[in-house]
């Protein structure tokens, strides 16, 4: 009898030990980092994914014990197999339990989106499609839709003024509606009472300030002369002179690589051509940098009315007070173009 009890006790101890070990191992796999890397491990879940395909994407980043923890977590945790499209970080030393809960709740990990200084909204659509879920055609169609733009208080021409260049944290699944609402909020935050008052001092609305900044941005790559360029164009506006800005002609032609503008180019019929039309174009010709907007708000006051690209091709300009002096600068630049056989 004692032998039987001893054997029974040993068997019970062994069974208990096995159960404790199994429980400890299960806890270890559930609560230890799913991925062996402590860095961000991002997966993308789209509307076509199923629970199985999402699981496969996660397993591709999981360590051996993380894979076991994932299977246990999906078995033990409630929530079913619902799939929420989005971008998710499953690394960063998160446990299998934390990853499964994040995926089932649809708690996305933001992506970093840089709004760059580009010429057109079609260019921006292409850039957005590389970071966001929606394709470039979806972005481009919305950007060109007058009715859709009106919902944000703008037109397709003035919409670029909302998209201030910067880096933002957004969700991968954000589409044109969500991102443009975000850009509208960012624009409202940027245009403080102080900045709005500075624009008003120059005779401009915030949108008009961005339009002029886009011209300044495309006229010069030299940060040091942006405020000079802004001051020249503001002086022209005050005198009722045409801006005669070469970048507006390139935008009108949609030929952004032109090195030499000829008479035929300058007479291009377009509301954006400031050689033909007085005042500002109907909207920005590019997404300007913040520094170009600040240059418009803080221009250098001077008596220059003309500018011409420097013949050393440094990206800087020669400024002139009189048209005669400007013609001399223009001739100097034309000779430099001829010497380089730029037609």
- Given this model, what pLDDT does residue 323 score? 86
pLDDT on residue 70:
67
What is the pTM assigned to this prediction?
0.85
Q: How far apart are CA 76 and CA 23, in angstroms?
A: 13
What is the model's pLDDT at position 238? 94
Q: How many CA atoms lie within 13 A of 297 on its CB side?
A: 19
Residue holding tokens 């503001």? 234
Residue 45 pairs in a beta bridge with: 86
Beta-bridge partner residues of 44:
87
At residue 196, the pLDDT reads: 97
Strand partners, 162: none
- Quote the pLDDT of residue 305: 92
Maximum pairwise Cα distance, the chain: 122
Tens place of pLDDT per residue across the chain (343 aa): 556 555 555 555 445 544 444 445 445 465 567 677 778 888 899 888 888 888 888 888 877 776 766 676 676 556 566 788 999 888 878 787 788 888 888 889 999 999 999 999 999 999 999 999 999 999 999 999 999 999 999 999 999 999 999 999 999 999 999 999 999 999 999 999 999 999 999 999 999 999 999 999 999 989 999 999 999 999 999 999 999 999 999 999 999 988 888 888 999 999 999 999 999 999 999 999 999 999 999 999 999 998 888 888 877 888 889 888 888 887 887 788 777 767 6
Give pLDDT tens digits for 221-260.
899 999 999 999 999 999 999 999 999 999 999 999 888 8
Given this model, what pLDDT does residue 154 score?
A: 96
Q: Which residues contact 240 (CB under 8 A, 6 or more apart)?
A: 278
**CA–CA distance from 150 to each of 13, 136, 146, 217, 249 (Å)?**
75, 21, 6, 27, 27
């Amino acid at each position: 009898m004692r032998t039987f009890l001893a054997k029974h006790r040993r068997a019970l101890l062994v069974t208990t030990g096995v159960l404790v070990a199994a429980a400890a191992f299960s806890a270890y796999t559930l609560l230890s980092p799913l991925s062996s890397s402590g860095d961000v491990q991002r997966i993308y879940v789209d509307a076509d994914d199923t629970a199985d395909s999402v699981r496969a994407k996660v397993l591709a980043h999981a360590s051996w014990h993380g894979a076991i923890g994932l299977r246990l977590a999906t078995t033990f945790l409630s929530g079913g197999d619902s799939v929420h499209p989005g971008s998710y970080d499953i690394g960063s030393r998160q446990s299998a339990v934390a990853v499964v809960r994040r995926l089932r709740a649809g708690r996305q990990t933001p992506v970093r989106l840089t709004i760059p200084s580009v010429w057109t909204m079609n260019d921006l659509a292409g850039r957005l499609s590389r970071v966001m879920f929606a394709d470039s055609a979806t972005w481009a169609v919305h950007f060109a839709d007058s009715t859709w733009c009106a919902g944000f208080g703008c037109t397709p021409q003035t919409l670029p003024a909302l998209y201030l260049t910067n880096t933002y944290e957004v969700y991968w699944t954000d589409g044109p509606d969500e991102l443009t609402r975000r850009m509208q909020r960012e624009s409202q935050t940027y245009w403080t009472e102080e900045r709005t008052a500075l624009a008003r001092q120059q005779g401009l609305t915030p949108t008009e300030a961005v339009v002029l900044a886009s011209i300044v941005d495309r006229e010069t790559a030299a940060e040091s002369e942006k405020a000079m360029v802004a001051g020249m164009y503001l002086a022209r506006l005050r005198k009722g002179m045409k801006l005669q800005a070469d970048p507006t002609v390139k935008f009108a032609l949609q030929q952004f690589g032109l090195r030499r503008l000829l008479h035929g180019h300058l007479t291009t019929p377009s509301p954006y051509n400031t050689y033909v039309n007085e005042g500002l174009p109907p909207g920005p010709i590019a997404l300007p940098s913040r520094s170009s907007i600040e240059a418009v708000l803080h221009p250098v006051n001077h008596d220059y009315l003309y500018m011409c690209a420097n013949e050393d091709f440094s990206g800087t300009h020669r400024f002139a007070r009189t048209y005669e002096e400007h013609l001399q600068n223009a001739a100097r630049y034309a000779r430099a173009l001829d010497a380089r056989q730029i037609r």
